[in-house]
Chains A and B, each alone.
Chain A
Amino acid sequence: AQSVTQLGSHVSVSEGALVLLRCNYSSSVPPYLFWYVQYPNQGLQLLLKYTTGATLVKGINGFEAEFKKSETSFHLTKPSAHMSDAAEYFCAVSDGSQGNLIFGKGTKLSVKP
């Protein structure tokens, strides 16, 4: 069965600093992986996805993630944090042919001025 582990329930960075949010997955089949962001009082917005092909995936708002099969990781990065990046971030893996999303527990990103 697929599962996702997000390391760090809370990450705090300074504005302009590198953002690194960690995600490790467990999957018995080639995984499809997603990162979503949730701002307060809103739904989830897709940041990026990995299905097949290039292992470095670029998403919206300057975020990118690299699929590393050998490390079973799909970490999310952004070179320079902005105050508007403060939100909850969820990593998810798709559960087989049914398309169910298995979410990690989430990482809350705080950005200090």
Chain B
Amino acid sequence: DTEVTQTPKHLVMGMTNKKSLKCEQHMGHRAMYWYKQKAKKPPELMFVYSYEKLSINESVPSRFSPECPNSSLLNLHLHALQPEDSALYLCASSQWLDSNQPQHFGDGTRLSIL
């Protein structure tokens, strides 16, 4: 069982829809991450939050909008996505933003764009 919970597990949406991905952790971690993973590829970092503030944005298109309402929750708002955005979206957390802290991953949301 994972300690990072992501909902929904699967999402199918059209290019004009607006939807949100949710991530929750109750380990008291203060750093949270969004990754995108295409099939047979490693995860690619999208965003990093530290103490609820955006720390890193890896030049992600504005159709992806992250939000960290509190230390346990991380959202990813989606709008006007493209077919190439279909992927597995992984959330992770670590105790804090430090290079020796392991990241704990959720099981992801599999997103399909029609």
Contact = CB atoms under 8 A, between A and B. Distances in A.
Contacts of B4: 43
Interface in A9-26: none
Contacts of A106: 40-42
Nearest to A93: B99
Contact of B107 (A42, A49, A104, A105): A42
Contact of B2 (A32, A43, A51, A90): A43
A52 to B, nearest CB: 8
Contact of A43 (B40, B55, B90, B102): B90
Q: Chain B, interface size: which category?
A: 20 to 34
Contact of B43 (A34, A94, A96, A103): A103
A44 B41 contact: no
A52 B99 CA distance: 12
Contact of A105 (B41, B98, B103): B41
A99 B90 contact: no
A45 interface: yes
A90 B105 contact: no
Given A98-B55, A99-B31, 9 more contacts: A32-B100, A41-B107, A43-B6, A43-B92, A43-B107, A45-B2, A99-B101, A100-B45, A101-B45
CB-based closest 4 A-B pairs: A103-B42, A43-B105, A94-B99, A51-B100
